[in-house]
Amino acid sequence: MIWTDEKKSELTELWAAGYSVTYCGEHFGVTRNTIAGAIHRMRLSAPEEKKPAPRSKAHSHQRSSKFSKAAPVPIIPFIAPLSVEFLDLAAGQCRWPHGDSPPFLFCGNPASDGLPYCPQHCRIAYVAAKHRSPRDYDGIAA
């Protein structure tokens, strides 16, 4: 973006009025980092009190659904591992390894249906991925 004298004075007025960097970015149709850089280069001081950026109803609806409470996680009682050797494991027994030196032992408790681990070890092995936006992937080589 080319910062003309008119745009610089308009940004200075918005900044002095207490509007946020995000709001100024939306106003000019650029990213908040562009605005932050311009404010820094123009050596504008931080306003005493910032005004919140006006929010649309659609934006507030997205935020409320994004942070809705998740279903409670069921409590699984602790079951001590049976410490079974690999060759002694039968179908349907948990294959979670214990220890890192011979003899190599495995949990051996009953596995969850269709999974190699018992419910206790499934909670460790299968963790939900964090939600990522496309912006999180910027700059990652493919």
Q: What is the pLDDT of residue 34?
A: 93
Q: What is the pLDDT of residue 91?
A: 93
Residue 11: Cβ within 10 Å count:
20
CA–CA separation, 97 and 91 (whole Å):
16
Tell me how far apart the terminal alpha carbons of the chain are, to the nearest angstrom.
Answer: 28
DSSP letter at 110 equals B
What percent of the chain has a predicted confidence (pLDDT) above 90?
A: 42
Domain ranges of the chain: 5-54, 65-142
Q: What is the pLDDT of residue 45?
A: 82
What percent of the chain has a predicted confidence (pLDDT) above 70?
A: 73
Selected residue with higher pLDDT from 50 and 113: 113
Q: What is the pLDDT of residues 81-137, one digit of tens each?
A: 899 999 999 999 999 998 888 888 999 999 999 999 999 998 889 887 777 666 666
> What is the reported pTM?
0.42
Q: How confident is the model at residue 70 (pLDDT cuts 50, 70, 90)?
A: low
Q: What is the pLDDT of residue 142?
A: 47
Contact yes or no for 81/107 (Cβ under 8 A) = yes
